[in-house]
A and B are shown apart, each in its own frame.
Chain A
Amino acid sequence: MRRRSSRWWTGIVAAVVLWAVAGAAGALAQRQVTVVGAVSADWRTMDPARAYEPYGAFILNVVYDTLVGMNPQDGSIYPKLATDWTVSADGTVYTFTLRDGVRFSTGKELTAADVAFSFRRLKNLKGNPSFLAANIKDVQAVDDKTVVITLEQPEGAFLTKLSEPTFGVVDSEAVRAQGGTDAENAAEVDSATPWLDQNSVGSGPYVLRSWVLKDQLVLERNPYYWGEPPQVDRFIFREVEDPNAQALQLLVGDVDLAFALTADQLPMLEGSRDVKVIDGPGLYIVFLLMNQNPEIGGPMANEKVRQAVRAALDYQGLAELFGAGSLTPHSFIQVGFAGALPPGRERDLDRARQLLAEAGYPNGFSVELEVPTLIVSGVDLVTAAQKVQQDLAEVGIRVTLRPGEVGVSLGRYRDGLQGFSLWYWGPDYPDPATQLAFLPGELVGLRAQWTAEHDPELHRLGQEAIVESDPQRRNELLAEIQRRTHDYGPWAIMLQMGRMTGARSNIDAAFHPRYGVDLTTVVKH
């Protein structure tokens, strides 16, 4: 009996030791840090010259490098592939000096020729994002390290545009080998896109390892990366469209990051110590349009009425409705864009009622509010409209909601036929220049029939800001524009929508208004 039991114990001890050793060996071997993210992405292509989806930049940003980068906190520009640059006096010629020792994931060294090829290809493919290169007249690789870009017109937003992943630099040799071209007829003959969808040839910190559309995308560390190596070796992005399913996966720990959560899921996450929310102000703004034309806008065309509306909105309540990170901007330039003034607006019901009385509506009035039946980041715009309805009722403005299908509403909105409506706006790229569309005589201004003649001075300020290449002078112009439009004009900017990402507690990552988190800052403990 004793002999058997001592052999038995030896066996157990041996098994335990083996198991511990195996475990340790396994742990050593698995030093690779993998982070799994749940996304609900609209990715169509990984070709930087063709990709133009709101979610698309997320991946391209860490796979391809641009000449310069943009700080999302304040819109300032910093060097990336270009260490230095100069702008000509008339603002149309930009000369960039490239960094030394940059290599693509293919091993080839990055030169000015690659930059020129990438930009020309972007322009000539005439794809969705090609309009970003519309102002570029010519790109020349003067020598291996110098790129000269000539613009048609001076443009204050040019460097911001260059920081867009659309201007990611590709390995021209590799792309040409796959049928890519930067020639004038690239739109007809370039055939490199399907290959680029599965293989990346960038100089960024990560390489595209695999991508199954609408299923899973895998990024792996780029061994040739020139910059600070990130901690995470591998990212796996899984398509999980339903935000509730994403929240459950995050809580269980099957994913480390969840990118498509909405305010609805917050209560689920609040109770758990294993997860946290990384949030901040995003890029979208939600606003009310009040038509300048009295025949269409009725009372909404009256400036005092508009001021009353702006004073009557419950901005805090609206921000709560839209979730973590939302805030109220000073005017129609988002916090985080260059030159944005500090946010904040107060509700003042007394002032609103007084303004209405001065406008000739002491007992308020009735009006219809058109709103498209859209859900943006999990919030139903119709619900937002109901909140507006409630807020305005407190000062006597009796609002009737008129929800409409996007397909139909969009037409009326673009043609300037709406008297009073609610919409949201997403910038084409994160620069105030896109927001100047709200000025009189510009794209969105005209939708409220706000023409240049209504305020020539403001219109002129906008035109100046668009071409001003000196950042400081441009910020001054933008500040002036925002001050003037803070409480004047056909817009009531309701809020800047927040962006939130769910993360496990052992993950640290920096907030990013567009991507949710900056992937290069992710650290898994």
Chain B
Amino acid sequence: MSLARYIIRRIILLVFLLWGATLVTFTVTNLVPGDPVAVQLGQSAMSDPEIVAAFKARYGLDRPLHEQYVMYLRNLLRGDLGRSIRTGRPVLDDLARYFPASFELATMATVVSVVAGVAAGVASAVWRGRVADSLVRVGALIGVSVPNFWLALLALYVFYFRLGWLPGPGRVSALTQLPDGTGLLLWDSVVRGDWALLKEALRHLVLPSLVLGSYTMGVIARTTRSSLLDVLGSDYIRTARAKGLGEGAVLFRHALANAMIPTITMIGLSYGNLLGGTVLVETIFAWPGIGRYAYQSTTTLDFPAIMGVTLLITAVYAVINMLVDIAYGMLDPRIRYG
């Protein structure tokens, strides 16, 4: 099957996936005990039936469930994700506002963890049994085991408070004006040639990316290490060495590409995780992202927002994994689509 047809097939699957996501989310959020009306209105407001009725009417909560679901789907097809009960704004606006921050953070965290993780994994495999190997293995273990909120506070304490090397919570400092644009600061600043903003955005990204990427870094280092060790022991590598190729060529031209396949899988899975699971890091670093938004929507039973976030993350996850699958084909010509 050609690449184009593969992609089309995946996109069609994506649509079904999204539809399934709306169904599951809708069912689950309505099964959970709890009343969004009670959550949003104060005690005195709740005892006034007129206020309660007005609130329910505003958010369509006075219709039967299946009608609510159909209404939701119909609006969805028109691009209207409804209005958040908690913020009172269109969910689409909320997502557009908060997604870029998380996207930037998750991408940076992935890049950092891939670069550092792969380098560490390679070093660990090549110098197996030596000091570098032990260091990497211990480091990876710490990255995987230490809870990231603790690491976040520790990082802030050491690098922000004690050493003053890096800035504190927030995407930029209090006095900086954010430009209108995509919301992706790195992109917006480069496009405008605003190097001061770029520098500031990067500096603020360092700590949260490292903290967020610590788990993935550990996993990637370990996966790369074991996968590379595996590959380095195979026949064709022995042949390459026998042919007289230097270790560098053996490693980078022959071994690495094949060793990377499990790692690429990891990257795909963890990217989706990073995107959705950033709530603790976002809270501590005052990062106005989708993780915090999702958490707050869930605890306040804000149905439209919950649906919106679920759809967004499902879509991103599916797209990332599609890209990962395509990457396989590029890495290993034996893999055919379909």
**Which residues from chain A sit less than 8 Å from chain B, CB to CB?**
34, 36, 44-45, 52, 126-131, 134, 187, 193-194, 212-216, 236, 238-242, 244-245, 248-249, 251-252, 254-255, 407, 428
Q: Among B33, B40, B168, B292, which residue has its beta carbon within 8 angstroms of that of A249?
A: B168
Taking a contact as CB atoms under 8 Å apart, the answer to whether B42 and A245 are in contact is: no
Number of interface residues of B (CB under 8 A): 40
Q: Given A236-B175, A248-B160, A249-B168, decide whether A131 and B86 contact each other with a Cβ distance below 8 A.
A: no
Contact, CB under 8 Å: A238 / B283: no
Q: Which residues of B contact A130 (CB under 8 A)?
A: 45, 48, 51
Are B284 and A244 in touch, CB under 8 angstroms?
yes
A213 contacts B48, CB within 8 Å? no
Interface of A is mostly: mixed
Q: Does B267 contact A (CB under 8 A)?
A: no
Q: Are A238 and B170 in contact (CB under 8 A)?
A: yes
Name the A residues within 8 Å of B97 (CB-CB): 212-213
Bound together, the chains give a CA A386 to CA B33 distance in angstroms of 28
- Given A34-B175, A127-B51, A244-B153, verify A238-B286 contact (CB < 8 Å): yes
Smallest CB separation, B147 vs chain A (Å): 14
Contact B164 A252 (CB under 8 A): yes
Q: Which of the residues B43, B54, B161 comes within 8 Å of A187, measured between beta carbons?
A: B54
Known contacts A213-B89, A215-B288, A249-B169: A241-B54 contact under CB 8 Å: no
Which listed residue, A34, A194, A239, touches B288 by the CB 8 Å rule?
A: A239
Chain A residues within 8 Å of B86, by CB = 44
- Apart from A214-B292, A244-B284, what 4 extra A-B contacts exist at CB < 8 Å? A244-B156, A245-B286, A428-B43, A428-B44
Contact between chains at A240 and B288 (CB < 8 Å): no
6 smallest CB-CB distances across A and B, nearest first, come from A240-B286, A215-B288, A126-B54, A131-B44, A242-B284, A36-B174
Residue of B nearest to A238 (CB): B174
B-side interface residues toward A, CB under 8 Å? Answer: 33-34, 40-45, 47-48, 50-51, 54, 86-89, 94, 97-98, 153, 156-157, 160-161, 164, 167-170, 173-175, 283-286, 288, 292-293
Cβ–Cβ contact A428 & B42, under 8 A:
yes
Q: What CA separation (Å) do A407 and B36 show in the bound complex?
A: 11
A169 to chain B minimum Cβ distance, whole angstroms, is: 22
| Bound CA span A193–B87, Å | 12
- Between A and B, 14 residue pairs with Cβ closer than 8 Å are A36-B175, A52-B42, A127-B54, A131-B44, A212-B97, A212-B288, A215-B288, A240-B169, A240-B170, A241-B284, A245-B156, A248-B169, A252-B160, A428-B44
With a CB–CB cut-off of 8 A, which chain A residues contact B40?
Answer: 128
B90 and chain A: residue at smallest CB distance? A194
Query: Which of chain A's residues have a CB closer than 8 A to the CB of B164?
Result: 252
A241–B160 Cα distance when bound, in Å, is 17
- Distance in Å: Cβ of B102 to nearest Cβ of chain A: 13
